[in-house]
Structure 1
Amino acid sequence: MLVIEGLTRRFGTKAAVDDVSLEIPAGSFVGVIGRSGAGKSTLLRLINRLNDPTAGRIRFGDRDVTALNGAALRAWRADCAMIFQQFNLVGRLDVLTNVLLGRLNKVSTGTSVLRLWSADDRAIALSALDSFDMGSFAHQRAESLSGGQQQRVAIARALVQEPKILLADEPIASLDPRNTKLVMDALQRINKEFGITVLCNLHSLDLARAYCDRLVGMAAGKVVFDGRGFDLTDDVARRLYGLEAGDVVDETVPVAPKAEREKAFA
């Protein structure tokens, strides 16, 4: 279980995350929602330790994540993979090599520098690509792919880290409706098939309700809602988004009912 206790991060006098406490059971799919500037991205970066907290603590099992450094911190970042809005692929490298970079924590420095990947590592990377219908692009340069394809490659790269937690920071922000569905389906597949805990920052309330088992709503750095999708009423949405509430309900993305999608992973 991931346990967050009184987590705070200040930038000068502003609290981007303000005294947040949460318990995230293993295998959860949690959507973190709220308007821009609510603290969603900072919360995920604190969990991954890309930012250090001003106060509070993060625990995962018997590990005090906030106390980690050096090799222990690198091991945590392997266990807690992160997917970014910008994909963060190396455009000039082929797709397979980009995915293999997710295996860096499993191989020696010499192997990674010289790209002397083992047959097992290549098989794992190709299997991850195939699972997201990207195997046929393995030897294509990453920069030649569409945004949705690049994001699926980024998800495959995170999967080959063999993480226990996957953090997705606005992974669909720049995608069209079709690619939005493909990426969200890919995240759900990771959650259902592999039992990996997923925390995903989302702007669309419809998508959050459709895919996430639990929603955590943030405003001004604080958690102001924590519950299931059907508890997220229009009144709660207005509390989270104010006048933007109507804009974040997206009717353009075709999403099958949650029960039907979960049958595919049973």
Structure 2
Amino acid sequence: MLVLEGVSRRFGAKTAVDSVELTVVPGSFVGVIGRSGAGKSTLLRMINRLVDPSDGRIRCGDVDVTGLRGRELRDWRARCAMIFQQFNLVGRLDVLTNVLMGRLNAAPSAKSLVRLWAPEDKAIALAALEQFDIAGLAAQRADSLSGGQQQRVAIARALAQSPEIILADEPIASLDPRNTRIVMDALQRINRTYGITVICNLHSLELARGYCDRLVGMAAGRVVFDGLPESLTDDVARELYGLEAADVIGEGATSSAAAGWGARSPVAIPA
């Protein structure tokens, strides 16, 4: 159980996240929604400890996340994988090596620095790539791929960490509609097949309603909505987004079946 207790983050005089209380049940798919500047990205970065809270506490089970340092913090970041809007791949390295970076915490540092990866680590990385139909790209440079392919590599890297939680910070913001469906279907399959908790920042309400089993709405750094997708009516969305509501209430939620992922059998990722 991931629990945030009165978590705040200030940058100088600006409060980006303000006294957030949140409990996330293991295995859930939570969509975090709200206008730009609402505090969504800062919230996810605090959970991963890329940003330290100014106040409050974050717990996962019996672990006080806010108190972690050194090796324990690295272990937490392995358990709580992060997917970024801009992929964060090393463009000059091949796809397989980028995914193997997700195994750094589990691999001896001396060997990983000279790319002497253990056979089991390579098997995990290749299985993760196969999960997204891109194992054939393993030898290509990451910067030669399309945006959608790069984001799938980034998700495969996160999956290779064998995480308990995946934090996805606007993972589809720079993608076209087809790759948006592919990436969201991939996150949904990870959630449903492996029971990995997914917390995903989204701008599109229709995607949030179509993929998430719970929505958390933020405004001015505070949680102002927390409930089932069907509870988020257009009227509530207008209250949440104000003048931006017309831009984020789309037409027609996309489904997993539309992209064909639901018909695929899962590829086992070795433990």
Residue aligning to 1:51: 51
Return the alpha-carbon distance in structure 1 between the equivalents of residues 262 and 23 of structure 2. 24
Give the SS at the match of 2:104: helix
Q: Secondary structure at the match of 1:86?
A: coil
1:26 match: secondary structure: coil
Equivalent-residue separation in structure 2 for 1:80 and 1:254 (angstroms):
27
Does the CA-based 8 Å contact 1:148-1:175 persist in structure 2?
yes
Runs ≥4 residues deviating over 6 A: 260-266
Find the aligned partners of 1:161 and 1:257 in 2 and give their Cα distance.
Answer: 27
**Alpha carbons of structure 1 residues 197 and 265: separation in structure 2 relative to 1, 3 Å:** farther
Shift of 1:250: 2.7
Deviations 1:38-66 (A, max 9, x none): 00000000000011111000000000000
Q: Does the 8 A contact of 1:177 with 1:254 survive in 2?
A: no
CA distance in 2, matches of 1:261, 1:115: 33
Aligned AA (1:180):
T
What's the RMSD between the two structures over aligned residues?
Answer: 1.8
- Give the CA deviation at 1:257: 7.2
1:201 equivalent to 2:207? Answer no
Identity %: 70
TM-score (normalised: structure 2): 0.94
TM-score w.r.t. the length of structure 1 is: 0.96
**1: CA distance, partners of 2:261 / 2:255:** 9
Which residue number corresponds to residue 115 of structure 1? 115
SS of the residue 1:126 aligns to: helix
Q: Relative to structure 1, is the Cα distance of residues 257 and 249 closer, same or farther in structure 2, using a 3 angstrom cutoff?
A: farther
* Partner residue, 2:159: 159
Change (3 A) 1:177 1:253: farther
Give the deviation of 1:254 after TM superposition. 4.0
Gaps in structure 2 of 5+ consecutive residues: 267-271
- Structure 1 residues 257, 139: CA separation in 2 closer, same or farther (over 3 Å shift)? closer
Structure 1: gaps (5+ residues):
none
Distance (whole Å) between structure 2 residues aligned to residue 119 and residue 264 of structure 1: 26
Shift in alpha-carbon separation, 1:198–1:261, aligned structure 2, 3 A: same
Residue 261 of structure 1: how far off its partner (Å): 7.6
Q: Partner residue of 2:86?
A: 86
What is residue 41 of structure 1 aligned with on the other side? 41
**Aligned-pair distance for 1:251?**
2.8
Shift of 1:249: 2.1
Output aligned runs, 1:172-191, within 5 Å.
172-191=172-191
**What residue in structure 2 maps to residue 143 of structure 1?**
143
